[in-house]
Amino acid sequence: MKNWFASDKVFNSLYPKPIQEVAEKHWTPLAVAEKAAAFLAASADAKILDIGSGSGKFCLTAAHFHPLNMFYGVEQRAGLVALSNELAQKLELENVAFICDNITNIDFENYDNFYFYNSFYENITGTQKIDFSITYSEELYNYYNRYLFKQLARKPAGTRLVTYHSFGSEIPSDYEIVHTDYAEFLKFWIKV
C-alpha cells in the first residue's frame, strides 16, 4: 500500500487538480497536522473538531497518526465534504467524520479539543479564495470570529486548541499559549 503520508506532494496527489492548486495556501501541511494532532490527542478518547476542514487534510492526517481518537471536520462546501469522506474510505480511516454545515450550527459541547487554520480569512477582501461557491464578506469574517470566541469561552478548563495562521482575535483571554512553532504561526493553547 502506498504511503500517502510520505510528503505533502504525495498526499496532495490524492486531490483533483483544482484542489491541488489551492493546497499550499489553504490545506494544512502534513508536518503541521502531525504536531497539532499530537497536542490535541492528549487523551485516547478525545473528540477533536477541525473548524472549517476544507479538503479534510488535517483530519485525515490526524486520524492516520492517532487511531484511538476521533476527528471531525466541519465544512460548508458539500463537494469538499464528499471528497473528504471518499478519501477517508480510500485511506481506510474509521476514526474520522466530516460534517457538511456552517460552523454556527455546530454544538461545541460535543467536542473536547479544536483545530483552527484561520478558516474565516478568505472572507477578507483581497484574499485567495478556495472557490466561489459560497458568499464572502468581511461582516461574515467578524460574525464567525465572534461566534467562535463565544463557543470557546464556554468550554471547560483544560480544553486544548491549536491555531495556525490565526490573528488571535477569536481566542478568549483565558486560553494560554503553551507552545509555538513555525515562526509562531502555529500556536498551542490550553484553557486555564
Distance between CA atoms of 65 and 60, rounded to whole angstroms?
9
Task: Please state the CATH superfamily assignment of the domain spanning residues 8-191 in this structure.
Answer: Vaccinia Virus protein VP39 (3.40.50.150)
Q: What angle do CA 163, 110, 57 make, to 5 degrees?
A: 45
The conformational region for residue 17 under phi > 0 = left, psi -120 to 50 = alpha, else beta, is alpha
pLDDT digits (tens, 9 = 90+) for 89-98: 999 999 999 9
Grid coordinates representing 57 are 487534510
**Stated pTM of the model:** 0.92
Mean pLDDT value of segment 122-142: 73
Domain range annotation of the chain:
8-191
pLDDT digits (tens, 9 = 90+) for 138-156: 888 889 999 999 999 999 9
Three-state SS string over 140-188 comes to HHHHHHHHHHHHHHCCCCCCEEEEECCCCCCCCCCEEEEEEECCCCEEE
Query: How high is the mean pLDDT of the chain?
Result: 92
